[in-house]
Chain A
Amino acid sequence: MSWRHIMITNNARLSVKRSQLVVQQEDTITIPMQDIASILIEAQAVTITANVLSACAEHKVSLFTCDSRKLPNGIWTGFHQHSRQLTVLEMQMALTKPFKKRVWKQIIQQKILNQAKCLDVMEKDGGKELSLLIKEVESGDATNREAVAAKLYFKHLFDSSFTRRSTDPTNRLLNYGYAIMRGLVARALANYGFTTCLGLYHDNQLNAFNLADDFMEVLRPIVDCHVAGQDVEKWDAEVRAGLVNLANTDILISGERHPITAAIDEMVKSFVASCRQQDYSYQKLPELLPAKVHQYE
């Protein structure tokens, strides 16, 4: 199982030798490809061989590229690496509307619960109000409790003038964190053979990652929680590394602690089960814990 996340912040040359990623800077370091979950390329003058891209697809690594403001703007995921691509696609196409709506309901309920937990962890008000909203979520979130919750939540978490649409530095941090989560979810979905443009709720024709956007909703509060405890004016490699490192923080899924990378895998695996059985009760979703980086002995 892959567990390593790599961030390239200085110029380097990346190549592959003996199934290992070779990073050439002052020193030459090798890392086994099979351990890597994601590579984020932030520096502008990084040379990368086609072999690396191919090995990334083969070993199911998601590779991010960044724009000149260092915000992730591209994800590389494997193309049709799953052995039963058509079976999964057919399964996805055959999902019924009620099923999708029920799963979406669960996602929104979990998202609001995580938002409430986030407020509690940050010792802000509003957790109770949000918890009350959870019961009101209808199938397919027909009454759009998600938006109501989000408005309440952001008001309490940051300040009342905060909006997601403005260009203040908080949003820059949030966007960065969300992009990482989205990439990790897209990676897991691609690993299980899903076609990510077919979403449950999201159905933007211009979006290749609708399904990833559905499942990353539950993970947003983790990023929010991290950003709320930070000096948002700062924007250096350390801050960005902190955001990437969120992938290693612990989260609860079906009662067990897992690093987020592994929890996303669990979530997608349970989605496969629930699709196969046409039973939404198989779906597992992660629950926010106070931030702590997962430790391997």
Chain B
Amino acid sequence: MRIMLFFDLPVKTKKQRRDYTRFRNYLLDEGFDMMQFSVYCRLCNGHESMERQLEKVKRNLPPKGSIRALPITEKQYERMRFLLGDKTKNEEKVTINQLTLF
């Protein structure tokens, strides 16, 4: 199960930029990976933990802007087409597999 998170945040004033950075840093601390600019993704082990993760994000939203979250299953995620460019190294290595070998 994955959460895909898309956001548009205003960065006109100093405060807005600070709010934006705070939110972005929060996402990184929570284990979201940047797929593209303003598109973040996090792996969760099952529906319940996805809901819990979303609740946590909701409590840390910046005051203004537009943010969407789309929960999708691994099967759906695998069906993503790469029209240009490749998977990131992190994406290739860190999968839903519970045992990761290095």
| CB-defined contacts of A19 to chain B, threshold 8 Å | 29-31
Q: How large is the interface on B (under 10, 10 to 19, 20 to 34, 35 or more residues)?
A: 20 to 34
Give chain B residues whose Cβ lies under 8 Å from the Cβ of A7: 99-102
The listed residue (A30, A32, A241, A296) touching B99 by CB distance below 8 A is A241
Tell me the bound Cα distance from A20 to B90 in angstroms: 12
| Cα–Cα, bound, A145→B93 (Å) | 47
Known contacts A18-B29, A19-B31; is A6 also within 8 Å of B100 by CB? yes
Chain B residues with CB below 8 A from A6, complex form:
99-100, 102
Question: Which residues of A216-235 have CB atoms within 8 Å of chain B's CB atoms?
Answer: none
Give every chain B residue within 8 A of A9 (Cβ-Cβ): 101-102
Neighbour of B90 across the interface among A30, A259, A294, A297, CB < 8 A: A30
Interface size class of A (residues with CB under 8 A): 35 or more
Partner of A18, one of B28, B43, B49, B99: B28
Residue of B nearest to A2 (CB): B45
A9 to B73, CA, bound (A): 30
Given A5-B100, A18-B28, A35-B31, decide whether A296 and B89 contact each other with a Cβ distance below 8 A.
no
**A–B pairs, 14, beta carbons within 8 Å:** A9-B101, A18-B25, A32-B30, A32-B31, A33-B31, A35-B31, A241-B99, A241-B101, A247-B98, A248-B99, A296-B1, A296-B74, A296-B96, A297-B47
| 10 additional A-B residue pairs with CB within 8 Å, beyond A18-B29, A248-B98, A296-B1 | A7-B102, A10-B102, A18-B25, A18-B28, A27-B89, A29-B94, A31-B94, A35-B45, A297-B46, A297-B74
